[in-house]
Amino acid sequence: MAERAVVKVVEAQETSEGAGVRLRRSIGTPQLDHLDPFLLLDEFKSDRRDDYAAGFPDHPHRGFETVTYMLAGSMLHRDHRGNEGHLVAGSVQWMTAGRGIIHSEMPQQKDGLMWGFQLWVNLPAREKMREPRYQDIPPERIPLIQDGSASIRVIAGEVHGTRGPVEGIATAPTYLDASLPAGARWRYALPAGHNAFCYVFEGRARVGPEDRAQEVRAGQLAVLGEGDAVSVATAVAPARLLLVAARPLGEPIARYGPFVMNTREEVMQAFRDFSEGSLGT
């Protein structure tokens, strides 16, 4: 197997979204606008109520998928079609917005730690106007397996024959939450041709071939180069990270705010549909 090297390290940038939720963004910044098919990656983490209490009131989406992974805290999701879901610690929601969803994501706690991630994944042109759908996955449905010294939560993709519960996604994603103890080395086979990244959110790790490994610390994202495997190692302290990969689409991207289409005209149509009340109908 050809091991993937780190080709770029991106420092997550402090920003805010929704009604003032504080978060750190690593994809969707001037340093990394996108990594086909990934459009955005946010980490939200705070135990200060003022940083998250206002949440994400009603807002629209069209043309892509949002993936919310909760590590701590609780979030209530509602949309204009009457769907409702409760995201608790350890749960995942993979929402395919398709032709349109107007929804809210609101914290369900007054204090305590709120911690998680939201990833935006582009849809191919043929699926941008598809019927919206949800995959709401509770913690107990996400396999936790041991792969050598690493403990892996398999959200999407496969590890030694154990598949994650997310299915039917056009870009055939891999989405793993990997915990490594101190002094560990973990090697994982990734599909050749898929774009991939590691996002370290606890500790620090050395990513890439042993002779060219690059240190990546918490709050940094490592873009991986070509190959069909990745190696991650720790030294004197443990680390935890997301390993995410998917098939690139290679299609034009026209995006503005909550709409991601292939042309400017399609984006303008999304705004018209939203203003006229026909988005997602």
CATH number at residue 109: 2.60.120.10
Q: What pLDDT sits at residue 19?
A: 65
Q: What pLDDT sits at residue 221?
A: 98
Q: What pLDDT sits at residue 167?
A: 92
Whether residue 194 contacts residue 213, with contact meaning beta carbons closer than 8 Å, is answered with no
Residue ranges making up the domain that contains 198: 6-276
Q: Which residue's structure tokens are 């709409």?
A: 259
Look at residue 95 and tell me if it is in a domain: yes
Residues of the chain with pLDDT under 50: none
Look at residue 257 and tell me if it is in a domain: yes
Domain count, the chain: 1
Look at residue 62 and tell me if it is in a domain: yes
User: What are the tens digits of pLDDT across the range 204-215?
Assistant: 999 999 999 999
pTM above 0.75, yes or no: yes
Three-state secondary structure readout of 128-191: CCCCCEEEEECHHHCCEEEECCEEEEEEECEECCEECCCCCCCCCCEEEEEEECCCCEEEEECC
The SS3 assignment for 57 reads: strand
The SS3 assignment for 258 reads: coil
Look at residue 1 and tell me if it is in a domain: no
Can you read off the two tokens belonging to residue 155?
């959200």
Look at residue 39 and tell me if it is in a domain: yes
Q: Which residue's structure tokens are 């305590």?
A: 112
User: Residues of 257-267 as b/e, b for ≥16 C-beta within 10 angstroms?
Assistant: ebbbbbeeebb
Look at residue 265 and tell me if it is in a domain: yes
For residue 118, give the H/E element and its range.
strand 114-122
* H-state helical runs in the chain: 264-276
Residues forming beta bridges with residue 223, ordered by sequence position? 8, 197
